[in-house]
Amino acid sequence: MSKSSTSPKVVNKTWSPTVKSWILSSIAAAFVVSGWFFDPYDTLLSTNSYILCSESNNIYTVDEFKPRVECISIMGSTIVDTGSFGTRSITCSLQEAQLELTQTFKAEVTARHLSRNGLSLYLPSWASRIIAPKVFTVDPKSIVVPGLADAHAHILEYGFMMELSLATTSSVEDVIQRVKDYILAHPDVMNDKTRWIEGMGWDQTKWAGAQFPTAADLNKDPLLQGRPISLSRVDVHAKWVSPRVLELMGELPDKVDGGSIIRDADGKPTGIFVDHAMELIPTPEWTEDRMTGFFDTAMRDALAHGLTSIHDAMAFPEHIMFFKQKADEGKLPNRLYLMGHVKSGNYWGAQIPHLIDYGKQGRLNVRSVKLVTDGALGSWGAALIEPYSDKKDFKGLILTPPKELASLVHQFWKDNFQVNIHCIGDYANKVTLDIFEDIIGNYGGNATEWRPRIEHAQVMTLDDLHRLGKLGVLASVQPTHATSDMAYAETRLGPERIKGAYAYQTLLQVSHQNILPLGSDFPVEGINPLLGFYAAIARIYVDGTSPHGTTGWYPNEKLTRAQALKGMTLDAAYAAFAEKEIGSLTPGKKSDFVVFDHDIMTVPFADILKAKVSATVIDGKVVYGAL
C-alpha cells in the first residue's frame, strides 16, 4: 500500500478574473500557511490522525447503515468518520509560466476530519482543501475489515503447544519422531533425563485404526526411554504419558469422578488419562518466564493473522495476575477478554477480580467465568443423552455434576459474572439450558444484560436449539471444529443426532439477537481466523473436499460471508459487552482494523486461505505490517 496522490493534469480552460484572483491569492497565502500550520499539522498527524481509503470501495465496515465505504477517518484511537471521496483538478495559465494546482476533495470525510482537528477554526475554506489530512490508500485488490476477534481461545496454551507441536502427525511413529527431534534440538533436555517433555496436538482419529496410543509406544526408542513425557491430545481432554510418568504416579485409583484412566484387558493403565484423570499427572507448574515466552509467541502470531481481540476461555487466577501485570505495564498488544476459571466444585468467585477496560491501554477485561460440563467428542468424553453410536455402552463424561453446576451458576449470576459454560454433548447442553432457563424464568435473570454463553454448543437436540434462541442464550461456536470432526462425527453420533450438531446457520437463525460469535479454540485449532471463516462458509477441508463432496458437509448449515465476518467482529464484541467500542468500523468506535491483500468477501473458496495480512491496526496504530 502507498499514500494516495493525484497527478497534475493540464486542462485548457479560460478562467474568469474572479477565479484567477482566488487562485493567485491562494498560492500566495499558502506560503504563509506553511509556516503557521504545516508544522503543527505534522505534530497533529504524529498522534495518529489520518484517512484510509480504498478506491475499489473495499472497506467492509460491518455497520448496517454503511456496510461498504471508500474511506475511514482516524483521529488518535477513534474512528471519527466514514464516507466516500471524489477528485477534480484546477489548472490556469499565468503571464510567464503555467501553474498547475491540483486539489483533491474528500467529499464526505476530509472536511469533517479537519473540522474535528480544529484546523477549520483557523483556516479559510480554500486552505482547508489544500492542507488535507494524510491519506493512505490500499491496493484495489485489498480489503479492509474491522479488527478480527477470536471468541474462544487459549492464549498461554498456544505458546505452550508451539514448543512441541504434534499437530499434523499421522501416526504414533510421527509423534515419536517429533519428540526425538525436540530432544536433539535442546541439549539441556538431551543431557538431563529428569526434565519433563511436554507436547500437544496428537489426534488418534486421524491415524490408521484410530486407536489410542499407549505408554509402551513412548518406550520403543532408546532416546525416549526413562524420560517423563506427557503429551496432550489436540482437544486437551486427554493426555498420553510414558512409562516413567506411570512410575512417578505410583498406585492409581480405580475410578476418577469426571475422568477415565484407560486400562488394558488386565486392568493395567495404558498411559491414557481422560479429563479429570489428567489431574493425577504430576507435571511441573509453569514459571513466569515460561508464561512470558508463551504469551509473546501467542501475541506475535495473533497480530500477524489480524486478531485484535481474544477471549481467553480458561484463565486461571495465576494467569489473570500475569495478564494484569502486563496491563499495568502497558504491554498488552491485543485486547483480552478473560474467562476466569478455578478447578473446584466450591464457589470460587472471590478469586476472580472484576476488571473493566483495565490497564494503561485499557485493553484488559475480566467479568466472566468459565465452567465445564463435559469432555470432548474425539475422546468419547462429550456427555450424550443416549450412548455413542460407536461405543454402545458409554454416554460420555459429566465433569461437573448438574446440582453442583446449578449452584455455581446461580452464585456467579448473583455476583454479576457473565457465565460461559463448555458444552459439547446434547446432555451437557440440555443440563446447562435447564439451569439458564431456571434463572431467567424464575429468578429474574435478564439474558440481554447477563449474556450467558454456551461455549461450543456442538451437539444439541432440535428442541434445545430453538430453546437456546428463545432464552437469549449466546452460542459461542468454532467453525473449524466442524471440519476437523466431520470425518468421524456421524460415526460417533449416528444419522439422526448429527442433524443437531455443528448447526451454525440454525443457531444464528434462532437467535433473536441475530448473534453468533465465532472463535477457533486455538491451539486446538489453528490461530489463523481465516481458517474459521473458510470452514464457516464452505464446510470443506482445505483441499476442497468433505464427506459430502465439494458442496460441503451439511451445506444447509453454512454461513454467508457477511454472517461469518459479523460473527468474527461485531457478534464477538457483543459477547464481551464491547459492541459499543469495537466490532465495526463505525464513527465513535475504536480504530481497530485489518488489511488483507485479497478480498476474502468475493474470491473463490480456494483463494480465501491465500490471503495475507498486510496490516493489523489497534487504537489507530499499526501493530503488524504497514499501511
pTM for this model (two decimals): 0.86
pLDDT confidence of residue 42: 41
Containing H/E element for 78? Answer: strand 78-83
Residue 186 included in any domain: yes
Last residue of a domain, one of 89, 118, 146: 146
CATH number of the domain that residue 195 is part of:
3.10.310.70
pLDDT per position as a tens digit, 428-459: 999 999 999 999 999 999 999 999 999 999 99
Please tell me the predicted confidence (pLDDT) of residue 49. 87
Residues 583 and 569 sit within 8 Å (Cβ to Cβ): yes
Final residue belonging to a domain, choices 256, 280, 304 = 280
| CA pair distance 335, 308, nearest whole angstrom | 6
d(CA 551, CA 565): 20
The pLDDT tens digits of the residues spanning 4-27 come to: 444 334 444 444 554 444 444 454
Q: Is the pLDDT of residue 45 over 80?
A: no
141 and 207 share one domain: no
Rounded to 10°, the helix 288-304/317-328 angle is: 70
Alpha-carbon dihedral 170, 174, 176, 178, rounded to 10 degrees? -110
Based on the fold, state whether residues 141 and 226 are members of the same structural domain: no
In whole angstroms, what is the distance from residue 434 CA to residue 406 CA?
Answer: 9
Are both 142 and 37 inside the same structural domain? yes
- pLDDT per position as a tens digit, 326-361: 999 999 999 999 999 999 999 999 999 999 999 999
Together in a domain, 188 and 245: yes
What pLDDT digit, counting tens, does each position of 166-223 carry?
999 999 999 999 999 999 999 999 999 999 999 999 999 989 999 999 999 999 999 9
Asked if residue 202 and residue 175 are part of one domain, the reply reads: yes
- Of 413, 465, 466, 417, which Cα lies nearest the Cα of 436? 413
Are residues 10 and 106 part of one domain?
yes
**215 and 234: one domain?**
yes
Same domain membership, residue 71 and residue 138: yes
Q: Are residues 47 and 129 in the same domain?
A: yes
**% residues pLDDT > 70 (the chain):** 85
* H/E stretch holding 103: strand 98-105
Inside any domain, residue 42: yes
pLDDT at position 554 is 98
Longest dimension (CA), the chain: 106
pLDDT of residue 134: 86
Q: Phi and psi (nearest 5°) for 260?
A: -140, 135
> pLDDT tens, 124-143?
444 445 455 689 999 999 99
433 occurs within a structural domain:
no
Instruction: Provide the 10 A C-beta neighbour count for residue 349.
Output: 16
Residue that terminates a domain, selected from 280, 304, 336: 280
Burial class of residue 549, CB neighbours in 10 A (0-12, 13-18, 19+): exposed
Burial, 499: exposed, middle or buried (Cβ in 10 Å; 0-12, 13-18, 19+)?
Answer: middle
In which element (H, E) is residue 593 found? strand 593-596
Q: Residue 524: which H helix or E strand, with range?
A: none
Q: Which helix (H) or strand (E) holds 476?
A: strand 474-476
Total tally of structural domains belonging to the chain = 2
pLDDT digits (tens, 9 = 90+) for 81-102: 999 864 433 233 333 333 332 2
Residue 231 in any domain: the answer is yes
**Residue-level pLDDT at 48:** 72
> Is the domain of 174 the same as that of 106?
no
Residue 446, C-alpha cell as written in the block: 435478564
SS (H, E, C) 280-299: HCCCCCCCHHHHHHHHHHHH
| Domain-embedded: residue 87 | yes
- Band (pLDDT 50/70/90 cuts) for residue 67 is very high
pLDDT in tens, 353-390: 999 999 999 999 999 999 999 999 999 999 999 999 99
Residues 200 and 80 in one domain: no
DSSP state at residue 381 = -
Domain that holds residue 166: 157-280
In a domain, 372, yes or no: no
What are 529-556's pLDDT values in tens digits? Answer: 999 999 999 999 999 999 999 999 999 9
Residue type, 594: V
State whether residue 447 is helix, strand or coil: helix
Claim to verify: residue 207 and residue 110 sit in the same structural domain: no
Q: How confident is the prediction for the chain on average, in pLDDT?
A: 88
Report the C-alpha gap between 113 and 85 in whole angstroms.
13
